[in-house]
Amino acid sequence: MSEQKRKPPVQPAPMRGPRGMVMGPRQPINKDTVIRLFGYIKPYWPRLLIVLACILLNAVATASAATFLGRIIDDHITPLLASHSDDFSGLKIAILQMAGLYALAIIASFTQARIMAVVSQSVLRRVRDEMFAHMQTLPIRYFDTHTHGEVMSHYTNDTDTLRQMVSQVLPQSISSLITLIVVFISMIGCSVWLTLLVMLSSVFMIMVTAKLGGRSASFFVKQQTSLASLNGFIEEMVNGQKVVKVFNHEPQAKKEFDEKNDELCGNATEANKLANILGPVNNNLGHLQYVILALAGGAMAIAAVPNLTIPGGMGVLTLGAIAAFLTLSRNFMQPINQMAQQINFIAMAMAGAGRIFALMDEKEEEDHGYVTLVNAKEVDGQLTETPEHTGLWAWKHPHTADGSITYTKLEGDVVMVDVDFAYEPEKPVLHDISLYARPGQKVAFVGATGAGKTTITNLINRFYDIADGKIRYDGININKIRKSDLRRSLGIVLQDVNLFTGTVMDNIRYGKLDATDEECIAAAKLANADDFITRLPDGYNTVLKGDGSGLSQGQRQLISIARAAVADPPVMILDEATSSIDTRTEALVQRGMDRLMQGRTVFVIAHRLSTVQNSDVIMVLDHGRIIERGSHDQLIAEKGQYYQLYTGAFELE
């Protein structure tokens, strides 16, 4: 097995909003998060103006239809009943006018829904684009301390809460607010006294909503966190299902899943329990208010109590006015109920937005490098930059002191001087590591798991930066080299192979995106992968899925080696590249790798000492220190730890 990095323990990340503000249960809605979220909606303001007009039109049409009902009763139905007339033409026209108002409201609602669907998906697309683009800039340390499932939860659960927020909650909240204003104006046009009764009951309803909604919102925030944790666990179990079965770990896995699922269930139950109570409570309060208004209105009409209206009016409350007001009161209470229900969705959306923005606010991988890798050619014995691909690479080194630019040939000369490193400050991993690898040399690292072998290679490609010491690449401090250019000059073959959905050719071309088919095939032949690839159903056009699950581990590794070969880098890092391959396949791979390593600087990490015997120098590491170095024959002659490892007197593990 390859040496595993000493990672910091994975801790559930606190939900932080912009500026590092924690999205805790007691603060489900964060002002900065709201402002930042509206920044994504702002570019669509012309469409939102149309939506606002539709909302206003819908509210006015609905309120007008309610007041129109009162006029139908007072101006048409009551006179017809009193006169016993058969002329219903006026009533028909009035009913058609009322139907027209409702049709107008329906059209406005339909237009609003269509536009908001486009706006919400556009906002989500932009959020996902920015989130993914930022994720590509994060350091390896971030992915070492966050589970893949937790990261995936940002793209699924958290963005879905934003979709609900933008497409449903936001327009409905605005609609409810506008409806409240329009209906309130209509109500005081019918009766000020009855409006005061509605306002008193509304205050009580808002108090109940604030109490129940505030408690449920905190549990909705916890629900999002629990869901992310559960997704992370499921992702780990799916990836490690073979290990689970091999070690009969199913009961323990089920127990851990049940614990996380119970936590999610508990938070979701509390959140939805309070949310589900809120609707019936408000509905029943609305029914009670309806009865009180009907009794009060009837009593006022019977007692001929002067009915105050605004603008000024002091008449008797009619049957039509009572019917219209009762309809308006329902229209007034409905948006209050809707807004009460939206509190929970707003809390979930804010929790999701806080988690998304927390990912976006993660510190990018720092790169202060200014030395770049360029195509070069020799003119009169001097290197010069050229836009053409010549096969010759050089480091372009601008000097700020005098403004000059020098070019250094890319050869793969790596030197480490007194390097110290720790993943965590209080736990050093490497101590005073000094070594050199001249162009074309093969340097091997051997030692027990945790000795620091993989860590050294992680420092060469700057997945992590050293704490002290120097690393020079072709005489240049690697801190001065831009990371993308540094990594472009390195080829890496890992024990854990990652293949992507696509053809075999696509996976090989991953090492060099502009490689031709001929170059990819030549790289596969170099890695001795061509033989098995041509026997696949569609050869190089065979589509791989599920990380190449239809291939053997050895075949997957051969494709990985071919992918590194097509990049044609001057430096190769082979981290247990043949450990997962059987002995027969290893012999084929080794011959291909010997050709691959010719003329290149190569760092090899291996447990099988047979694969490193032909190395120019072998470094034996123990607890982050180089305790022995030399060729195979020299180390055998010294009869130190390498000798004990080789003869089996001492096990690597």
- Cis geometry, peptide bond prior to residue 46 (ω within 30 degrees of 0): no
Three-class secondary structure assignment of 229-290: HHHHHHHHHHHCHHHHHHCCCHHHHHHHHHHHHHHHHHHHHHHHHHHHHHHHHHHHHHHHHH
* pLDDT of res. 312: 63
Domains of the chain: 29-360 (1.20.1560.10), 372-409 (no CATH), 417-647 (3.40.50.300)
305 neighbors 317 (Cβ within 8 angstroms): yes
Compute the average pLDDT of residues 229-242.
76
DSSP state of 16: B
Q: Are 422 and 579 in contact (CB under 8 A)?
A: no
| CA 606 to the chain's CA centroid | 35
Strands 502-503 and 442-447: unpaired
Q: What is the pLDDT of residue 22?
A: 36
Confidence check: pLDDT of 256 > 80: yes
Q: What is residue 454's predicted lDDT score, i.e. its pLDDT?
A: 86
Q: What number of other Cβ atoms are within 10 A of residue 573's Cβ? A: 23
How far apart, in Å, are the Cα atoms of 70 and each of 73, 84, 89, 189, 310?
5, 20, 18, 12, 16
pLDDT band at 246 (very low <50, low <70, confident <90, very high): low
pLDDT beyond 70 at 96: yes
The Cα–Cα gap between 573 and 600 comes to 10
Band of residue 592 on the pLDDT scale cut at 50, 70, 90: low
3-state helix, strand, coil in the chain (%, to 5): 60, 15, 25
What pLDDT, in 10s, does the model give residues 558-585? Answer: 888 888 888 888 888 888 766 666 666 6
Confidence check: pLDDT of 432 > 80? yes
3-class state of residue 626 by DSSP: strand
At residue 41, the pLDDT reads: 87
pLDDT for residue 554: 79
Q: How confident is the model at residue 648 (pLDDT cuts 50, 70, 90)?
A: low
Listed residue (482, 477, 430, 480) closest to 458, CA to CA: 430
Question: 321 or 194: which carries more pLDDT confidence?
Answer: 194
Q: Which helix (H) or strand (E) segment is 430 a member of?
A: strand 430-437
pLDDT value for 80: 67
Q: Does residue 473 have a pLDDT over 90? A: yes
**Which of 465-479, 502-516, 573-587 bottoms out in mean pLDDT, i.e. has the lowest?**
573-587
Question: What does the CA dihedral 293, 299, 305, 307 come to, rounded to 10 degrees?
Answer: 20
- Give the C-alpha separation, 181 to 179, whole Å: 5
Kindly state the greatest CA–CA separation across the chain: 126
pTM: 0.68
State the pLDDT confidence band at 9, using cuts at 50, 70 and 90.
very low
381: left (phi over 0), alpha (psi -120 to 50) or beta: left
Greater confidence (210 vs 472) lies with: 472
Task: Identify the top-confidence range among 148-162, 227-241, 297-311, 455-469.
Answer: 455-469
**9, 41, 436, 470, 490 from 421: Cα distances, Å:** 18, 45, 18, 11, 21
Amino acid 585: pLDDT: 66
Average pLDDT over the chain, rounded to an integer: 80
pLDDT for the residue 229: 80
What whole-number distance in Å separates Cα of residue 617 and Cα of residue 592?
A: 21
- Count other C-beta atoms under 10 Å from residue 649's C-beta: 10
Cα–Cα dist 646/145, whole Å: 36
pLDDT tens digit string along 352-411? Answer: 888 888 889 998 888 888 999 988 888 887 888 888 877 788 899 998 878 888 999 888
Nearest alpha carbon to residue 302 among 312, 294, 292: 294
